[in-house]
Amino acid sequence: MRYIDWFEAHGKKHAKIMEKLKDKSDDEVIEYFRFENMVKNEPNFCPLYEKNKKCHEYEELNCYLCACPNFRFDDNGFEIKEDKTLFSYCDIDSKDGSQFIGDTYIHQNCAGCIVPHREKYIKKNFSRDWFFIMKNVKQG
């Protein structure tokens, strides 16, 4: 599956949840997206929920900004670096991020970064329109 296909499908799932929460306050929406609540109430939002597994080991994980707004990707690649295609990177160059480097590719590894999963960050960047927050994610 191409990343853009996952990204668009995920955005539609997010929008469906937001429609259900349209009468909730912003704080209530953010609280709803807490990992423990999402596992219980939105089991199809993430394939990891089935196993009650987090994508990032963080006690207060919030899933509102799953697919970080600082992540940049291009399924065709941005550039060639040392004979490898760079497909994704972190726009803020998070110190907790790294790269997967294969024989022919480079992908951003966000597993160690929890920037978009902190409620303080979510509140600072909050919009009820997930695609608006994520507007710069897809490049190319």
**pLDDT tens per residue across span 93-137:** 999 999 999 999 999 999 999 999 999 999 999 999 998 999 888
Residues 48-84: tens digit of each pLDDT: 999 999 999 889 999 999 989 999 999 999 999 999 9
Q: Give pLDDT, residue 139.
A: 59
List the domain range (segments joined by +) for residue 128.
3-133
Question: Over the range 39-63, which residues count as b (16 or more CB within 10 Å of their CB) and which as e?
Answer: beebeebbeebeeeebbbeeeebbb
Count the domains in the chain.
1
Q: Which residues contact 135 (CB under 8 A, 6 or more apart)?
A: none
User: Is 140 contained in some domain?
Assistant: no
User: Is 129 contained in some domain?
Assistant: yes
Element (H, E) at 37: helix 35-41
User: For residue 24, what is the DSSP state?
Assistant: S
Q: Give pLDDT, residue 57.
A: 87
Element (H, E) at 98: strand 98-101
User: Is 138 contained in some domain?
Assistant: no
Residues 6-39: tens digit of each pLDDT: 999 999 999 999 999 999 999 999 999 999 999 9
- Give this prediction's pTM: 0.89
